[in-house]
Amino acid sequence: MTGGYNKQWLERFRSHWLWDWITTVDHKKIGILYLLGGGFFFIIGGLEAMLIRIQLFFPNNDFMVGREFNELLTMHGTTMIFFVAMPLLFALMNVAVPLQIGARDVAFPFLNSLGFWLFLAGGILMNLGWFFGNAPDAGWTNYVPIAANEYSAGPGIEYYVLGLQISGIGTLIGGLNFLVTIINMRAPGMSFLRMPLFTWTAFVASALILFAFPALTAGLFLVMFERIFGAAFFDVALGGNPVIWQHLFWIFGHPEVYIVILPAFGIMSDVISTFSKKRLFGYNSMVFAVLLIGFLGFMVWAHHMFTVGLGPVPNSIFAIATMAIAVPTGIKVFNWLFTMWGGKIEFTTAMLWAVGFIPTFVLGGVTGVMLASPAADFQFHDSYFVVAHFHYVLIGGTVFGLFSGAYYWWPKMFGHKLNETLGKWHFWLFFIGFHLTFFIQHFIGLFGMPRRHFTYQATDGLTLLNQISTVGAFMMAIGTIVLAINIYISAKKAIPAGNDPWDARTLEWAISSPPPEYNFAQLPRVRAMDAFWHEKMAGNKTMEPAGPLEPIHMPSSTHLPFFMTLGFFISGLGWVFRSLEVGVLGLVMVALVMFTHSFNHDHGYYIPLKDIKSNDPKKGAKA
């Protein structure tokens, strides 16, 4: 064998930039990976949405009908929730949370990397359904018995079950990682009640992930056992009960709604206070509201099941619990308004998204209260009114929040801002397009069009409304293309933005953009809420260090998370095609990698003082 040649080849492989990204455990790089992954699926989910809207442009259109349409809307919903909203929020959390609490790193860098790869593997596995066999087609809620073998033959549902199972593990360990990071790794002086709101919401959302995702795991296992091994959980003839799936799904699914909205609330809070040049109004009540919303999020799952027939008593209890959520949400909305009140407001693109968010989300909230009334829900149920409601919340809330956060933290991530003019074009196209698409859908629903149906009749009087809705969807798509152009152009010019381009308040702006791999050369001492703003007001250009300048310990890069994920992916494919051997083989690979990791004797490395000093841009810190 030509050992020398191989060694060289291996050397080249290891020094390749791709290998660097595959093996990275740096939370900022993992954040960028999440951004890329989530962005990729955003394009796919968006295309699916456009195909749905094209199909509904004319009555009796035959562009995408029957099973194809079912696959489209199932994949659109699943993709947008699991492979777009969550990973993109994880992207911002990875970028901002450790910096906001003054930490060098996250608690579990290995798990952080593993979490990303599992999300990506789950997303890819599910989308393979488009190419091999068929895509999932039972709706994003995967209700049985529609999802049972009898009504949904072929591997479609297996792709759903295993794709979500794999990415779900990734999400769970991601959430766990943030919880431990925030509890154990805050900088000296960073008490819980000095944490920026985004970190607070990331914290509560992570707690929700921790307690909600296992319910999904359990539910998915039941469906998998039923479909692949012939279990009888949902088979009425054998004593099963399909409502069990609905309970498990919504015990997960309702907190999930808050998992994706709370971090958006956090982004809004940080952005609004930064661009109003005021501290957040009612900080403590904001924190309390977040905690309360998180708690109540677990108490309301049956409001998705009012029409199942649980009876008037459960329906009433869940209705009241649901309506109660409007109170803390209202507290938040008023606090945002009061933060802006009398502030020196600067309408950057990030701020535009935040301000646009407020009325949009309030509209979504109001229809939420309407839906929370069981008697009225019997009318709204499974109509476009519901579709309009949750798109107002999920786009008007989460997606607006993500855009706001992206424009806000972009300079911290990449060292340059996104172009503001194009950003405003993006905002107005998307904002107007959004309301055009979904405001009208409230009426489409009230006029009787059921959701998940691939067509309507010319005599229904829904044609014009549907066409307006489709035009709006195209405007949103054009807005998104403007964003893509903006990203490209801004990266091309790459005008350095400096450490603190927004004259912001929190710790992440106290270090260089993009930050060095160790974040803080010396951990900062936090002396007040809005720690960096406090120092700036006291006339200091930087944070006071909490300790001496020392060599910094960092974790080594590792390829094991990638290979562990590969094991899960192979196993998932095995179960999809009902091959016991491949399924087990993949799991054996997972176990082997796990053991390799456990027996691995790698304690990381130290960054020597001279490298930190030469890297540290402290002298020119002020942008």
Contact predicate 186/258, CB 8 Å: no
Q: Is 311 in the site for another protein (CB under 8 A)?
A: no
| Helices 283-296/326-340 angle, 10° precision | 150
Q: Is 575 in the site for another protein (CB under 8 A)?
A: no
Counting runs of H as helices and runs of E as strands, what totals does the chain give? 22, 2
Contact predicate 163/126, CB 8 Å: yes
Q: Is 359 in the site for another protein (CB under 8 A)?
A: no
Q: Is 183 in the site for another protein (CB under 8 A)?
A: yes
Q: Is 204 in the site for another protein (CB under 8 A)?
A: no
- From residue 123, give the alpha-carbon distance in Å to each of 79, 101, 126, 397: 8, 31, 5, 23
Scan for tokens 């359990």, then name that residue: 218
* Maximum C-alpha span of the chain: 77
Instruction: Tell which one of 194, 247, 417, 435 touches another protein (CB under 8 A).
Output: 247
What CA dihedral angle connects 113, 119, 121 and 123, to 10 degrees? -160
DSSP string of 41-82? HHHHHHHHHHHHHHHTSSTT--SS-THHHHHHHHHHHHIIII
Contact predicate 399/80, CB 8 Å: no
Q: Give me the amino acid identity at 191.
A: S
Q: Which stretch binds another protein (CB under 8 A): 57-65, 171-179, 391-399, 456-464?
A: 171-179
Q: Which is nearer to another protein, 131 or 599 (CB)?
A: 599
Number of residues binding to another protein, judged by CB under 8 A? 41
Q: Is 467 in the site for another protein (CB under 8 A)?
A: no
Q: Which is nearer to another protein, 136 or 240 (CB)?
A: 240
Q: Is 213 in the site for another protein (CB under 8 A)?
A: yes
Q: Which is nearer to another protein, 477 or 523 (CB)?
A: 523
Q: Which is nearer to another protein, 153 or 183 (CB)?
A: 183
Instruction: Tell which one of 30, 91, 120, 172 touches another protein (CB under 8 A).
Output: 172
Q: Which stretch binds another protein (CB under 8 A): 82-90, 169-177, 315-323, 456-464?
A: 169-177
In this structure, what token pair is assigned to residue 384?
């476009």
Q: Is 214 in the site for another protein (CB under 8 A)?
A: yes
SS3 607: strand
- From residue 605, give the alpha-carbon distance in Å to each of 22, 552, 600: 19, 8, 14
Q: Which is nearer to another protein, 238 or 366 (CB)?
A: 238
Q: Is 23 in the site for another protein (CB under 8 A)?
A: no
User: Taking the CA atoms of the chain, what radius of gyration do you get in angstroms?
Assistant: 25
Contact predicate 518/612, CB 8 Å: yes
Contact predicate 409/354, CB 8 Å: no
Site string for another protein, 578-607 (x = CB under 8 A): -----------------x--xx---x----
Instruction: Tell which one of 136, 163, 219, 401 touches another protein (CB under 8 A).
Output: 219
Q: Which is nearer to another protein, 153 or 238 (CB)?
A: 238
Q: Is 225 in the site for another protein (CB under 8 A)?
A: yes
Q: Is 211 in the site for another protein (CB under 8 A)?
A: yes
Scan for tokens 């791999």, then name that residue: 517
Instruction: Tell which one of 107, 287, 352, 564 touches another protein (CB under 8 A).
Output: 107
Min separation Cβ 459 and another protein, Å: 45
DSSP class of 553? E
Min separation Cβ 218 and another protein, Å: 4
The span from the CA of 458 to the CA of 455, in Å, is 10
Q: Which stretch binds another protein (CB under 8 A): 130-138, 209-217, 258-266, 364-372?
A: 209-217
Q: Is 197 in the site for another protein (CB under 8 A)?
A: no
Q: Which is nearer to another protein, 382 or 544 (CB)?
A: 544
DSSP string of 231-269? --SS-GGGT--THHHHHHHHHHHHHHHHHHHHHHHHHHH
Q: Is 179 in the site for another protein (CB under 8 A)?
A: yes
Q: Is 19 in the site for another protein (CB under 8 A)?
A: no
Min separation Cβ 615 and another protein, Å: 22
Q: Where do the H-state alpha helices sit in 415-462?
A: 420-446
Sign of CA dihedral 10, 11, 17, 21: positive
Min separation Cβ 113 and another protein, Å: 15
Contacts with another protein by CB under 8 A lie at 107-108, 172, 176-177, 179-180, 183-185, 210-215, 217-219, 221-222, 225-226, 229-233, 235, 238-241, 244, 247-248, 251, 595, 598-599, 603
